[in-house]
Amino acid sequence: MKQLTACLAVLVLVAACGVSSKRTQADMDRDGQTIAAALEAADAGGMAFHMTENWVVTGGQIPKGKQSSIGLTGDGGIKAGRVKMTLKFTTGSSKPSYDAVVGQGFLYVKAQKGGGGWMRTPQPAANPLYPAALLELLREDVLLAKRVDPYSLVQQGNGFAHKYVVVPATDQLEQLDAVSLSGADEATFLKTATGEIDVFVSLSGNHLQRVEVHLVGTDPTSGEKNSITSTSDYHSAKVGEIALPAGAQDVQPAQIFG
C-alpha cells in the first residue's frame, strides 16, 4: 500500500510539473482544442454512455428547508450529432421510462408504457435534462469558454485520466440552463449563476471517458434555485446510424413527458 501511495504521489507531481501559475489565453486555447478534439472524435466515431442526473430545486414557492428533486438515468449511444437513449426517472411514485432521440434541433420522446406515439419539442428547452450527453453542444461550449484550466491527474475507474475543468461563457451558460432572458432579469440571473464542465480523457490518445456538468441558477421571476449535476460515462461501442422518428407530434416543452 505504501508503494502504491508513493507511486500515486509521483504521478501527481509529474502531472503538475511545467504548469505555469499564470494561465495565458494561448494555454487555454491549446487545451480547449484538445478537449474539443476528444469530444468531436467520440461523436464522429460513436460511443455508448450511461448518464445520471440529479436536479434539486429550492426557494420560490418551496417551503424553507425543503426541496424538490428530479433524478433520472440515461443509457444509449451518441453518433454524428445525434443521441439515442432510454430515459428513466428515478424519483416520484411512477418512475416512468421513455425512449428518446435527440437530433436536428429536436427532442423526440415516446413513453415505453401506455401505447402513445412519438412526440417532439425543440431541443434547447430540454438541455438541462441531459447536458452531459450533448457532445456537440459541449464542444461548442469548450471552444467559446470563459476559462479552461490545465488538466489534473485523477483516478478514473481502474486507471487514471486527465481531467479538464471548463467554465462556460455567459451565452453558453444560459444555453445549458435553457433560459432566455434580457435586461434586468438576465443581469439578476447571471449574478449568481455558475457552471462547470469537467471532461475526463485517457492519458494516451485523449479518448473521452467521462463528462460532468454542474449548473446552478436562480430564476429571477419565481426565485427558485436550480442545482443540476449531470454525469455521463462513455465507453467504446459499435453505434449504428441514429434515425429520427417519423410522424412525431409537435408539442410544447412542458408536454413532452405527458
Following DSSP, what letter does each residue of 66-82 receive, concatenated? --EEEEEEEEEEEETTE
Distance CA(63)–CA(29), nearest Å, equals 44
Closest CA to 161 of 196, 198, 200: 200
Distance CA(243)–CA(95), nearest Å, equals 26
Following DSSP, what letter does each residue of 116-171 receive, concatenated? ---EEEEGGGGGGGSGGG-HHHHHHHHHT-SEEPPPEEEEETTEEEEEEEEE--HH
Query: Tens of pLDDT along 13-57?
Result: 334 443 446 889 999 999 999 999 999 999 999 999 999 999 999
* 249: β partners: 119
Closest CA to 147 of 162, 166, 164: 166
In which band, very low, low, confident or very high, does the pLDDT at 8 lie, cut at 50, 70 and 90? very low
Domains of the chain, earliest start first: 31-255 (2.50.20)
Instruction: Give 143: exposed, middle or buried? Use CB within 10 Å, 0-12, 13-18, 19+.
Output: middle
Read off the pTM. 0.90
* 166: β partners: 148, 197
Closest CA to 83 of 110, 54, 59, 49: 49
| Residue partners of 125: CB distance under 8 A and separation at least 6 | 107, 178, 253
Asked if 156 and 80 count as a contact pair (C-beta separation under 8 A), the reply is no
Grid look-up 402513445 returns 116
In this structure, the strands spanning 208-218 and 194-202 are antiparallel
Distance CA(167)–CA(141), nearest Å, equals 9
Taking 90 as the threshold, does the pLDDT of residue 2 lie above it? no
DSSP label of 185: H
Highest mean pLDDT range out of 2-6, 176-180, 229-233?
Answer: 229-233
Query: Tens of pLDDT along 56-98?
Result: 999 999 999 999 999 999 999 999 999 999 999 999 888 999 9
